[in-house]
Structure 1
Amino acid sequence: MIFESLPTTPRSEELVDKAFSRASRTGRAKSGREAQEAMLRTAANILADNLENVVTAWPDFGSDDETVLLPRDEREDLVDPFYYELADAILKMESETFRDEGGVDALRMSLSELSWASNQIRELRSEYQGKMRKTDADTARKHRKQAFARFADILDEIEDDLLRVGAARDALRDLPEIRPDEPAIVVAGYPNVGKSSFVNRVTRASNEIASYPFTTRGVQLGHFERDRIRYQIIDTPGLLDRPAEDRNAIERQAVSALTHLADAVVFVVDASGDCGYPVDSQLELRDEVERLFEAPVITVCNKADRSRDVEADAYMSVTEGEGVDDVLERAVLAVGYEPDIPPSRRE
């Protein structure tokens, strides 16, 4: 998964203790000026390398929104727009650290600060190595202590950035892995209409099922195969029919999935009234989805064993196991995926 392998972010105090302790052991193996130089190199390298490793472990979010939204074939090294918008929403929703500071933008700023600190420490190492040359042991020790004090000041300065990056890692590490190169079917609709039940029925997913709004707090992913092609099927959070600017962070996740992922949309409607939302409101949301997104939209009436009082492309009852396969086949046809088949080799 894109964020799963991110390493634990150390605290500034942990890094300083690690670097200075290792430097002390290194210094005991030598004497005089050589010991001080060895301690300087060891501490600087540990601090700079650890900070650099934290930064390089993160994927590239791009430098601005225009860069992030380049066509897919022009931004192979950047985070897919789906992950960018989903990460931004989750950071603002899950972490108080980011709520007032700008989501992914705040994360990028903190990563930039860590990179700055790593470079500063390397520059100080070179500066003090130069000062130690051709000095006696006592003067070299003074220079080494000055360098260590400046190292500690730099780590104090980025303490909040390390905490911010650590919070981001904890919030994002369990995101599902969405593959932009595989066809994707997005399941959308109001809360409690049966989206998660449908996804669980046709895949190996095990999303939480319950009868309260916003059970699905994040994008959930399942897979199924047809004709040796693997399809992704994405269960989105419940969307409410209200202006985009009024949607909360959970709802924005669903909109992001629809915008960037959907090769087809299965829009689930509940005509029975059990979901708690009027059919007219559900259809208005369906119409909004059709207006905003280019992917074909299949209107599916779920709980059809209780009511079929709505015009739909297909009818099913997930709980009774009726019509589910037909809906899935309709979605596959709507995707119309044709894999690239390499030309056969000439004899």
Structure 2
Amino acid sequence: MCAFGDYPEATLEIINIVPRRGPAGIIAPSCDAATALAVHEINSGTGILGRELRVTTIDGGRCPQVVANEVSALLATGMVHAITGCHASSVRRAVATANAGRVPYLFATAHEGLDEQPGVFLLGEHPASHTLAAVRWLRREYGVRRLAIIGSDYIWPRETARAVRRSLPDPADIVLEQFVPIGAADFRSFLREPALDRADCVLILLVGAEIAHFNRQFAAAGRTAPRLSPATDENVLLAGGPDANRDLYVPSSFFLSDRLPDGLARRIRYRRMHGDFAPALTSFGNAVYEGMHALRAIAESVRSLHVPDLHRAFTTGVRFHTPGGLRDFHGNQAVQPCYLARAAGVGFAVVDRIY
């Protein structure tokens, strides 16, 4: 490997950040398998800018500053060409500071919509096209008015809850709001709150295993209100079990559905590579898969991975193709459709396009 801007003859080196511990560690096997599929597909073609893609995945489930320190050490070698990943916004902000715009950083997870430093390109869904759009859909289709919010105590849940409150006709329609430490597994105090009886819907701003714990306890408590859970994937549905998933709605830019571009075909390619006993190909796995293909498509469209070149190109309306469809950017935010699905046992049934 050699310095950024002076590519080696044959390889292009990527840091991929995926949580391997904590409540979001549940997504790691799916993300690893989806990354392997993307790398295989890219390298079976012309690679990225004619070079073989090589990926090093690091654990994004640690303290944000610990992750950022490891990224800093790797960047200091001058041998890293880009950063990708699917991880918490708190990790993203620490890594963005460490990167300081040196290499492109493609963040593939839904986020809270705050401005970012140079070099950060947000492939994940903005709350306006994701959580807020889903809340509007539930209000319009099912007359949902009063919300209860349960979330983890870090930047994405808190900022998303603020955005939801600002979007409502009456902020008092949030009848209950509670944030719990990351990794919480006991939600009985929230479920016993009398104010919860007034909620038409529960907005779950938890992640990974937290969501499965909450859903099981919600069902066991005899609660029946619909729930909206922006960070739920198929792993969470499997962990919770069918009885815990009734009336659970999830927004995402991609579901494995024959109604959506590349849905069924992607599942076939994934099973052909990994076999029938592979981890489920989930929305988070698809996020990192799309992230790898977006990096390839962006580099080929701009003919560069130099951060200033990318920013200039996006201001002029450069568009690019991933297996999920045609994409472009508004500022540093990828513009893409978003869908709402309802849990169907341990899978999803897409009910509508919401953005």
TM-score band by shorter chain is under 0.3
Structure with max Cα Rg: 1
Higher strand share: 2
Relative contact order higher in (CA < 8 Å, ≥ 6 apart): 2
Higher helix share: 1
Q: TM-score, normalising length from structure 2?
A: 0.20
Q: TM-score, normalising length from structure 1?
A: 0.20
